[in-house]
Structure 1
Amino acid sequence: MSQPAFDLPSLVAAAGIDALNPMQEAMLAATEEHPHVELLSPTGSGKTLAFLLPLVRTLEKGKKGTQALIVVPSRELALQIEEVYRKLRTGFKVTATYGGHKREIEEQSLTEAPALIVGTPGRIGDHLRRENIKPEGIHTLVLDEFDKSLELGFREELEFIVRSIPSLERRYLTSATRAEEVPDFVGATDLHTLDFLPEDGEAKDALLLQSVTSTEADKLETLFALLCNLGRGPAIIFCNHRESVERTGAFLTEKSISHVWYHGAMEQRDREVALAKFRNGSASFLVTTDLAARGLDIPHIRAIIHYHLPPTEDSFTHRNGRTARMDASGTAILILGPEEKVPAYITAPVEPVEIRTDMGLPEKPKWTTFFVGAGKKDKVNKIDIVGFFAQKGELKSEDIGLIEVKDFFSFVAIRRSKASAVLMAIKDHKLKGRKMKIDIAK
């Protein structure tokens, strides 16, 4: 094997952290001694970086073709991993592949084989069958959240993917639960397991569990009062069904509560707009199904609200994993209807709280999301966007918030008080010499 391109201090610095946590250190050490490693660790503990660092260590300079493959249960998780990987600035090309956009776009990206591919089981399987992905040089396979992939019915595709890779040398598997045995088809003989899950499975000390009682079976008014008591976000409201998400979202719109909603039946573009608004602070609350219980890396979530009781203990665990991440604290709140009780699987103390019904509306977000009709494929980056809004929009640096650059479009948070003036100031200007759509994201 030729010399790998791996410099731990520079990668850690590029990731934006001061030092690795004990779980990440343990994963690095384990992968030096064992070819097949299973990592069990709570959601939000930093598993993505834990497997990316040893994976990067396996990449060989000067070697053509794909060397590593990461399989994930959702497109959002694929995009998140791609983003974290790009921050490492390894010099090795990465391509994300997932359903919800045109396969032809991915085929073009796969023409010059990337060193790393990250994607969902169905789309990766499709590319393998069409021979868009050449598996011969793949030596490292990561099955991230493998238990969720199995739960979602991807067993057949996972088995096909593993069978299609003839020269696997390393297998890294991750999960946030102990619920699923590693299937035989994975071929991970002599699997070394790192278990960083709490022994009793209870919520972390940093997570405060509370309950609020609704006098009506329809809990919408109770939810409204709760949000007014919280006063501000960000918080995630979990419902059990897509229809409930939209009904709850419509109600919050009537009540003038800043929010977005998110579920699996939405168009991919609409999902990306919703998440961008929530991530950058343009929307205070996210109403969603369990689709958002995994794979969304949104820091500093203040509260998780279980509008509907979680159907399973795993669901409860993963929903709560969106808050109290790493060393932060957070609150999980159960809204209990007249006939509902705290589920038996919740053994940690749950504090009943009363909420006032005379509180004013939560404070409005300080940011507005702008849509920019160009992205990475148009050679537009964050520096270009900052320069454009600073010069043409006459904004100071503190008036520009989080920027997300996608393949063909971008999102940028602009201070809400400046939004109207910015629209007027930039309307006749070009970005990188091109006239393109720039407007407030709908």
Structure 2
Amino acid sequence: MPNKKRSRETEAPVKRTKKSKLLADELGWKEVAMPDRLDDVEGFFGLEEIEGIDVVADEAGKLQFKSVDKSKKAKKTKVPPAPPKPADDDTEAEDDEEEWGGIIDTEAESTEEEAATKPIAAKPQSEKKKKQKKDAKAKDKKVQQQAAKSNPFETLLEDRLDDSDEDVDLPEWETLDLSFPTLRALAKLKFASPTAIQSAAIPKILAGHDLIGKASTGSGKTLAFGIPILETYLKSSAAAVEVINTDASKNKIEKLPIALVLSPTRELAKQLSDHLMAVAAFVPDFKVVTLTGGLSLQKQQRLLDQGVDVIVATPGRLWEVVSEGIGWIDKLKRGLRFLVVDEADRLLQEGHYKEVEDTLNLLQREEYESGAEDDGSGSEDGDMDAAEFKKKNKPKKKKAPAPKRQTLVFSATFHQGLQQRLAAKGKKSWPKNGTGGDLLDNKESMEYLLKKLNFREESPQFVDANPAGQMATNLREGIIECGAMEKDLYLYYLLLRYPCRTLVFTNSISSVKRLTPFLSQLQLPANSLHSNMIQKARLRSLERFSSPSSPNSILIATDVAARGLDIKGVEMIVHYHLPRTADMYVHRSGRTARSDARGISILLCAPEEVMGVRRLVSKVHEGDNAKSTGKYAMKSFSVDRKLVDRLKRRATLSKKIADSTVEKAKKNKEDDWLKTAADELGVEYDSEEFNSLKVGKKGQRGKQKREKAASASKDDIEAWKAELKALLKQKINSGFSERYLTSGIVNIASALMNGEAMHDNIIGVEKKSVIDEVTW
């Protein structure tokens, strides 16, 4: 910026020209950019601004608008160049305010005045060499940029081919005709062959079709749509970059997103981004931005403003960005080539994720036209009554044009019958046409998707990569029948007897908060995950659970972790509570037995949950051969009941400690809140009087248990901890005779002679994986 004070002092006297008077309607109003929301922005909707107008008051005090000649004004304020400054002057030269134009060959040239005022100092030889190297690099970069104008990825591919130290030999992928960067990334990820959903979906997507993909969990659905997105980006960079002529001399390059991926949970959104970046590891310009709640909105908006190719978002944060930001609806409309809806059955359920519907409506908003049309009857408006005139001049809806983007929908459970509550007493079921339970046979399910999404094609392609059943091929299921109050004990038995990476699912956040300290007191590596945790804590728990250094880690989670998460090495899934719907059971169990791995899903069943389990089996295994003959039944998982009895004291002590700790913290929090509320109201708070309020008979028993746990003294808790610590130092005897090695249930002498691995915490038990306990 020029020095304003000096400009006024050096300004030559100029004769002012008479300004032309203008009316308010004659001014060049420009619309101000507003956030992309649907309301009137608190009354500022339609705000406009003008430039080059002076507001002048005449002698009578009346305001007038007068235009200003910008060219004359610029000439009038032009300042002659200041004399050269000596080298020791503290003030900055005016040339420093000009934009730096880079290193050029004429940089060393100077005028005679500069030579007279600046001392001559010879540059050291090292600086000259550095400058020469800089110049050479700049020239090489300029040559590469000019060469890349015809094909932006040609030089990239050549560099990758020259620098590659490994050969890409993936014969199974050759039929899909993928580019070299994609193949190299697949080789690095050790994906030797495509999965069934990838082989079926990728060619159809690359051919430009809309697609609905149904495949079991862990079958590679992310790459089924991620690879076509990357291939489209590589083949047509013009689809992601649009040049807007904003000035006759300059072109502003705007990078538009080519794909929008919608995810139901934050953890799944982050995982999708990681997988997309992994397959694009050798395409450095490919950028993926994740939009999820719990993290800084401003930072995510800055990343978007820097340019993005793929947006992976949860519905709430996406709606927040497009409604609060400026111009993003227009950018999505102009740039999107792919709209991907992952876990579609969860995102598109009635009454859920209203932000998804609002965003889709903005992207595919229909246009309206108003005005009467001549119906050929020759009647005039005067001959019609008010109702007929209103009916004839009613705005008519144009047929929504087919979007240019492809719509891709993926999930493992599309059948709406799976979404019914298992505990429902009625037998109401979704209408069927009598042919089965998959998507093609369920007419209502297909119409449900077609109604929600504006597909480009009238009949989108459907790919069912798992027609045999809902569950993965390498998954085994088991059930343990136990009392509702014994679930903690049997959970401890499973985790102690079969140490492995285990995911435990519950139906409530309170159960997660209780089970985590319960298992921690038993010296088991338990982590928690639920929706009330802050996002950083959720990510931290997932990192600890999936860390290679903790192969026997445990995650206690609600259904927020049931969908889409791909964590390596999960061998066992334990359903502490019966899931509310059958589709949730499918997704929970899908966290193990992913790809070619094996896994087991165990359900802890209380007597009151038996009917729900029967409904679960009938819905999940509908259409299986065993079920059709009436012989299918969930197998009972073998449990050593004597060993369970020996673990009962440990579980009881740990449960007392955990319940007391949780209830004390909850009570203190409630007391603090009630006391604060009473102080604000100006009344006295008596905790005993408040707790004496009567509750229903149904909640009386639970209230007494909570009060008993919260009333435990500090000495009682310390005594329980000391006893539990002593028990944990001892190994558990599973029927082995300590006096005679060859007696008892297990022959220890024979096991030692045969080199069999013994359990670390249980005497007389072979160290065995839970997967090896079931028949394959």
Task: Give TM-score, length-normalised by structure 2.
Answer: 0.44
The structure 1 residue matched to 2:639, chosen from 335, 339, 354, is 354
Segment of structure 1 superposing worse, 192-201 or 43-52: 192-201
Partner amino acid, structure 2, of 1:58:
T
Contact 2:229 2:259 in 1 (8 A): yes
1:142 matched to which residue of 2?
Answer: 340
1:224 matched to which residue of 2?
Answer: 492
Partner amino acid, structure 2, of 1:75:
R
Partner amino acid, structure 1, of 2:474:
A
Cα distance between partner residues in 2 of 1:278 and 1:107:
30
Instruction: Verify: 1:56 aligned to 2:230, yes or no.
Output: yes
The structure 2 residue matched to 1:123, chosen from 297, 310, 317, is 317
Partner amino acid, structure 2, of 1:144:
D
Bigger proportion of residues as helix: 2
Segment of structure 1 superposing worse, 151-160 or 19-28: 151-160
Q: Alpha-carbon deviations, 1:280-334, whole Å to 9, x = none?
A: 0436111111111112110221111011111111011111000111111111111
Deviation at 1:137, TM superposition (A): 1.3
Contact 2:196 2:219 in 1 (8 A): no
Contact 1:122 1:154 in 2 (8 A): no
Partner amino acid, structure 2, of 1:66:
P
SS in 1 for 2:237: coil
Instruction: Verify: 1:36 aligned to 2:210, yes or no.
Output: yes
Segment of structure 1 superposing worse, 287-296 or 54-63: 54-63
Contact 1:215 1:337 in 2 (8 A): yes
Equivalent residues in 2 for 1:28-427 (5 A)? Answer: 28-59=202-233, 60-61=236-237, 63=241, 64-88=255-279, 89=281, 90-91=283-284, 92-131=286-325, 133=328, 134-135=331-332, 136-151=334-349, 153-165=351-363, 168-179=404-415, 180=445, 181-188=448-455, 189-201=458-470, 203-230=471-498, 232-281=499-548, 282=550, 284-341=553-610, 342-346=613-617, 347=621, 348-352=632-636, 353-355=638-640, 356-357=643-644, 358=646
Partner amino acid, structure 1, of 2:586:
T
Contact 1:147 1:175 in 2 (8 A): yes
Segment of structure 1 superposing worse, 13-22 or 79-88: 13-22
Cα distance between partner residues in 1 of 2:537 and 2:577:
24
Partner amino acid, structure 2, of 1:184:
K
Cα distance between partner residues in 2 of 1:345 and 1:4:
54
2:193 matched to which residue of 1?
Answer: 19
Contact 2:213 2:464 in 1 (8 A): yes
Cα distance between partner residues in 2 of 1:215 and 1:124:
44
Cα distance between partner residues in 2 of 1:153 and 1:102:
28
Deviation at 1:158, TM superposition (A): 2.0
Are the structure 2 counterparts of residues 152 and 321 from structure 1 closer, same or farther at C-alpha, using a change threshold of 3 Å? farther
Q: Alpha-carbon deviations, 1:199-242, whole Å to 9, x = none?
A: 443x3341111112224534111211121121x12010110111
Q: Alpha-carbon deviations, 1:262-283, whole Å to 9, x = none?
A: 0111111111110000000436
Deviation at 1:154, TM superposition (A): 4.5
Cα distance between partner residues in 1 of 2:505 and 2:541:
15
Contact 1:159 1:186 in 2 (8 A): no
SS in 1 for 2:257: coil
Segment of structure 1 superposing worse, 207-216 or 150-159: 150-159
Q: Alpha-carbon deviations, 1:135-173, whole Å to 9, x = none?
A: 121121111111111238445322332333365421111
Contact 1:209 1:349 in 2 (8 A): no
Are the structure 2 counterparts of residues 109 and 345 from structure 1 closer, same or farther at C-alpha, using a change threshold of 3 Å? same
Are the structure 2 counterparts of residues 115 and 34 from structure 1 closer, same or farther at C-alpha, using a change threshold of 3 Å? closer
Are the structure 2 counterparts of residues 165 and 154 from structure 1 closer, same or farther at C-alpha, using a change threshold of 3 Å? same
Deviation at 1:184, TM superposition (A): 2.0
SS in 2 for 1:42: coil
Cα distance between partner residues in 2 of 1:147 and 1:211:
27
Are the structure 2 counterparts of residues 247 and 168 from structure 1 closer, same or farther at C-alpha, using a change threshold of 3 Å? farther
Partner amino acid, structure 1, of 2:555:
L
Segment of structure 1 superposing worse, 105-114 or 8-17: 8-17
Deviation at 1:53, TM superposition (A): 0.4
Contact 1:235 1:302 in 2 (8 A): yes
SS in 2 for 1:66: coil
2:19 matched to which residue of 1?
Answer: none
Partner amino acid, structure 1, of 2:214:
L
SS in 2 for 1:340: helix
Q: Alpha-carbon deviations, 1:11-40, whole Å to 9, x = none?
A: 422443112122201111111334211111
Are the structure 2 counterparts of residues 3 and 217 from structure 1 closer, same or farther at C-alpha, using a change threshold of 3 Å? farther
Deviation at 1:338, TM superposition (A): 3.9
Q: Alpha-carbon deviations, 1:96-153, whole Å to 9, x = none?
A: 0011112111111111220111111111122112235331211211111111112384
Are the structure 2 counterparts of residues 104 and 219 from structure 1 closer, same or farther at C-alpha, using a change threshold of 3 Å? same
SS in 2 for 1:20: coil
Are the structure 2 counterparts of residues 122 and 169 from structure 1 closer, same or farther at C-alpha, using a change threshold of 3 Å? same
Contact 2:196 2:465 in 1 (8 A): no
SS in 2 for 1:350: coil
Cα distance between partner residues in 2 of 1:250 and 1:294:
25
Are the structure 2 counterparts of residues 327 and 313 from structure 1 closer, same or farther at C-alpha, using a change threshold of 3 Å? same
Are the structure 2 counterparts of residues 36 and 205 from structure 1 closer, same or farther at C-alpha, using a change threshold of 3 Å? closer
SS in 2 for 1:354: coil
Partner amino acid, structure 2, of 1:169:
R
Partner amino acid, structure 1, of 2:532:
A
1:386 matched to which residue of 2?
Answer: none
Runs of 4+ in 1 over 4 A off after TM superposition: 2-6, 152-155, 358-361
SS in 2 for 1:29: helix
Are the structure 2 counterparts of residues 269 and 253 from structure 1 closer, same or farther at C-alpha, using a change threshold of 3 Å? same
Are the structure 2 counterparts of residues 182 and 319 from structure 1 closer, same or farther at C-alpha, using a change threshold of 3 Å? same
Segment of structure 1 superposing worse, 259-268 or 337-346: 337-346
Instruction: Verify: 1:9 aligned to 2:199, yes or no.
Output: no
State the Cα RMSD in Å.
2.4
SS in 2 for 1:261: strand
Q: Alpha-carbon deviations, 1:412-441, whole Å to 9, x = none?
A: xxxxxxxxxxxxxxxxxxxxxxxxxxxxxx
Cα distance between partner residues in 2 of 1:318 and 1:154:
18
Cα distance between partner residues in 2 of 1:156 and 1:213:
40
Are the structure 2 counterparts of residues 339 and 141 from structure 1 closer, same or farther at C-alpha, using a change threshold of 3 Å? closer
Cα distance between partner residues in 2 of 1:65 and 1:33:
22
Partner amino acid, structure 2, of 1:343:
R
Partner amino acid, structure 1, of 2:361:
R
Larger Rg: 2
For structure 2, the 5+ residue unaligned runs are: 1-149, 154-178, 242-254, 365-402, 416-444, 622-631, 651-776
Cα distance between partner residues in 2 of 1:215 and 1:184:
45
Contact 1:97 1:117 in 2 (8 A): yes
Cα distance between partner residues in 1 of 2:339 and 2:608:
47
